Chains A and B, each alone.
Chain A
Amino acid sequence: MLPASRYSSKAHRCIRALTAVQGEHGAPQLYTTVRRACSSGTAPRITTHYTIHPRDKDPRWEGMEMERFADEADVVIVGGGPAGLSAAIRLKQLANEHQKELRVCLVEKAPQIGAHTLSGACLEPSALTELFPDWKERGAPLNTPVTEDVFNIFTKSHRIPVPILPGLPMQNHGNYLVRLGNFVRWLGEQAEELGVELYPGYAAAEVLFHEDGSVKGVATNDVGIAKDGSPKDVFERGMELHAKVTLFGEGCHGHLAKQLYKQFNLRENCEPQTYAIGLKELWMIDEKKWKPGRTEHSVGWPLNRHTYGGSFLYHLNEGEPLVSLGFVVGLDYTNPYLSPFKEFQRWKHHPFVAATLEGGQRIAYGARALNEGGFQSIPKLTFPGGLLIGCSPGFMNVPKIKGTHTAMKSGMLAAEAIFPKVTAEEPNSETTGLHVPEYAESLKNSWVWKELHSVRNIRPSFHNPLGLYGGMVYTGIFYWILRGKEPWTLKHRGMDAHQLKPAKECTPIEYPKPDGKISFDLLSSVALSGTNHEGDQPPHLTLKDDSVPVARNLAVYDGPEQRFCPAGVYEYVPVETGDGMRLQINAQNCVHCKTCDIKDPSQNINWVVPEGGGGPAYNGM
């Protein structure tokens, strides 16, 4: 019998998790400003993933069976979020209407639909009403109409209320507070009823191409690769799903989309995407403080006027005193000592917020990156064999902080554009993979485009000497009065990763210690996300060059990844022998937020998809 330690089945992981294991190092060197000298020897091997170390040159893989089982569908959709599911549903609705057969397969890396979904969320029901006019009768979980809208500028201990005049983007009359994970789960049920083949727990790991360069489909992840990159006994290749056209709806900063941008040069005529990170918690609060339908937003403290960000706090009405609250920090921040997680935790101590949370209990935590680039950052949306939908290309209305309705609409428009092409008797395409530029055309003629165009200058207007206040003044004049009709389009500042200033030019931030009642430490928060991965697999946070973290990120920027990761994946720890530090990647903690891939100043981190089924286990987030 081979020793159990060589394998890592779920049972083994489970037992290991229940048995205490002594750690090697003591307290993490997380917030030190003392920079140790780089270790003199060669960098320890961190990355073992086959995307960095190809298997065809690896002797351990000689003779392994690498054939993949393949299956054909009409349409394959990558990603089971609002965009992907809306596209799938719309396709099946059209197929039923026109009495045509259509095989639609959707793959999703989460173990169940909705488990990787995280959002505020305040939903504008426009797209939903277009998709399902009878959504209420079908039981869509939109249970909390917005009743009260509050907007404040926070100072350290006070607040300045800002009136939300009708016409301002933050006005929420007619919208619903939802638990987006539950909404996505409901969409999944509707999709299954219509005959969509949903495959949660399987991640699309690779894009497949025809010989003519058009997209052929995707392949799901291989399973059973050990942490050092070698094959285990349970190794099995992923499966190939071929389609006439493939829709990519991976959400903000998808890893396959990143490849497609390069492959098809989709970003040559648009600005780089800019992002923010959103951290969120769910709290059960004291019933006396519960005001269902109340929507609170704030800007200001604890962020300074040059760091974009703000908060939300929504009182849900689902039968129990539940509030959803969170904090968003623009990833174009310049101070490498900033920790979005700690800003979130200390924001909760503001008297206005703490009053709601006192006596309550935190029951969930999670984080995800979101798009802020808006109109200026929309790439080319179609290419031979595929197209991009949802937050992946990025249709979020930033001042409204809403992207679900536009994501759904983009999925629906995609379905409507490709339906005639995939059901045509004769394929009318130059390439084997269908090219559907009609999708981009119909999107440009839709309300999505008009909406994004009208708010295009609000986020970039933030970059002025008055920072936040300048941005608010600009919004007041040009959006509220002139409705975004000004003839110019402001530019973003460039890639978020290039905005960090070297650590020596910045001041470390003194964050208060968590009190365990309102604010909490990182690791107990991560535990609440339910995240886990098969431990014995190559870390999916791959580094193009293993020596760069210590040589550049730590040396110049004091290792910002140990601060911006909301799950404690990145740690700089002392090397075991000798002097110096090394980067330790705790891949199991990852909550799939994608912030590291976005904000790494060296752009050395490449997030790829881990074995499907891993990641957070959000429940109605």
Chain B
Amino acid sequence: MSGRVLVGVKRVIDYAVKIRVKPDNSGVVTDGVKHSMNPFCEIAVEEAVKLKEKKLIKEVVAVSCGPQQAQETIRTALAMGADRGIHVEVTGKDYDTLGPLQVSKILAALAKKEEAQLVILGKQAIDDDCNQTGQMTAALLDWPQGTFASEVALENDKVKVVREIDGGLETIKISTPAVLTADLRLNTPRYATLPNIMKAKKKKIANVKPADLGVELTSRMLGKYRGVTGKRKERATQQSRVEEWTILPNIHRTIL
């Protein structure tokens, strides 16, 4: 086995920021807004780095799809312990319509190209809450999947995954290569400390275009409309009393 793990990381708007819908309802204001790595992707990176520290795998490759700024997210993954990065450049209209279907095609192509033993992703992104990319990637590759993982144990060429499901916990044993998606309790991600950020500047990030991977990014959606329903929740917690405005984006999609 190659001993290489591919980890997907997504750059999302920071969870503590109040999002604002654009006046023309075409999307959410992102310019200048604080972004960070999707929390579940952080957990995925941490798991991959832990496997490398246990010497069960040899190399961790961080992948992100998006515009130039996606490189910052890859750098954070490199600072956490990934060995190298791959930035799949997607900009403009393509980036607006980039969704799980396109990303999973990209990841599947990369997994084959890099001969990955494992693909570890976060279970879902906090901006779209789709929870689809891991599953689609596994299906495209025809690989087994261990989703909602709260425990991962590598045993030779098999993986034991404890999954968090509605009924409790389910333990499965799947063969590699496989796709895993990380759930909350899998681990506690380490901080990307300054010395590691400095070291990460020397690690390589390769630049790739989706066309190079043979992936077509045309969206299957006819149109997207975002509306806002403002629901006010008053919440008193022990630590901080912050009133949360929950803005639920109402996304109507028509899929061919």
| A residues adjacent to B (C-beta < 8 A) | 1, 4, 7, 9-15, 17, 20-25, 28, 69, 71, 107, 111-112, 114-115, 181-182, 185, 199, 202, 220, 223-224, 233-234, 236, 238-239, 320, 363, 521, 523-524, 526-528, 530-532, 535, 568, 571, 586, 588-589, 617, 619-620
Contact = CB atoms under 8 A, between A and B. Distances in A.
B249 interface: no
B89 to A, nearest CB: 20
Given A9-B43, A71-B195, A530 B188 contact: no
Contacts of B42: 9-11
B194 A28 contact: no
B184 A12 contact: yes
A9 B189 contact: yes
B243 A531 contact: no
Contact of B195 (A15, A69, A224, A568): A69
Interface in B211-242: 233, 235-242
Interface string B193-222: 111011000000000000000000000000
Contacts of A24: 236, 238
A526 B14 contact: no
B36 A619 contact: no
Contacts, number: 126
A284 B88 CA distance: 36
Interface of B: 14-18, 20, 23, 31-34, 36, 39-40, 42-43, 126, 150-151, 184-185, 188-191, 193-195, 197-198, 233, 235-245
A233 B32 contact: no
B238 A23 contact: yes
Q: 10 nearest interchain CB pairs? A: A23-B236, A11-B39, A532-B16, A617-B34, A7-B188, A69-B195, A223-B191, A586-B240, A530-B17, A619-B32
Given A9-B42, A617-B17, A199 B194 contact: yes
Nearest to A182: B32
Contacts of B241: 23, 28, 523, 568, 571, 586
A220 B194 contact: yes
B189 A10 contact: yes
A589 B40 contact: no
Contacts of A11: 39-40, 42-43, 184, 189
Contact of A589 (B151, B197, B235, B240): B240
A1 B185 contact: yes
A238 B241 CA distance: 30
A240 B170 CA distance: 46
Contacts of B233: 20
A1 B126 contact: no
A12 B46 CA distance: 14
For B15, B34, B189, which residue has the most chain A Cβ atoms within 10 angstroms? Answer: B34
A233 B188 contact: yes
Contacts of B194: 107, 199, 202, 220, 238-239
A24 B236 CA distance: 8
B151 A1 contact: yes
A588 B239 contact: yes
Contacts of B34: 111-112, 115, 530, 617, 619
Interface of B is mostly: loop
A619 B240 contact: no
Nearest to B238: A24
A10 B241 CA distance: 19
B72 to A, nearest CB: 9
For B16, B31, B39, B189, which residue has the most chain A Cβ atoms within 10 angstroms? Answer: B16
Contact of B191 (A20, A224, A532): A224
A181 B31 CA distance: 12
A256 B89 CA distance: 42
B236 A22 contact: yes
B243 A527 contact: yes
A456 B77 CA distance: 51
A1 B150 contact: yes
B14 A530 contact: yes
B43 A20 contact: no
A84 B22 CA distance: 33
A259 to B, nearest CB: 21
27 contacts: A1-B150, A4-B185, A9-B39, A9-B43, A9-B189, A10-B15, A10-B36, A11-B184, A11-B189, A17-B15, A23-B236, A23-B237, A24-B238, A111-B36, A115-B34, A199-B197, A220-B194, A363-B20, A527-B242, A527-B243, A527-B245, A530-B14, A530-B16, A568-B241, A586-B241, A617-B16, A617-B33
Given A220-B194, A239-B194, A10 B240 contact: no
A11 B245 CA distance: 19
Contacts of B126: 14
Given A112-B34, A530-B34, 7 more contacts: A1-B150, A14-B39, A15-B184, A17-B244, A21-B238, A199-B197, A236-B190
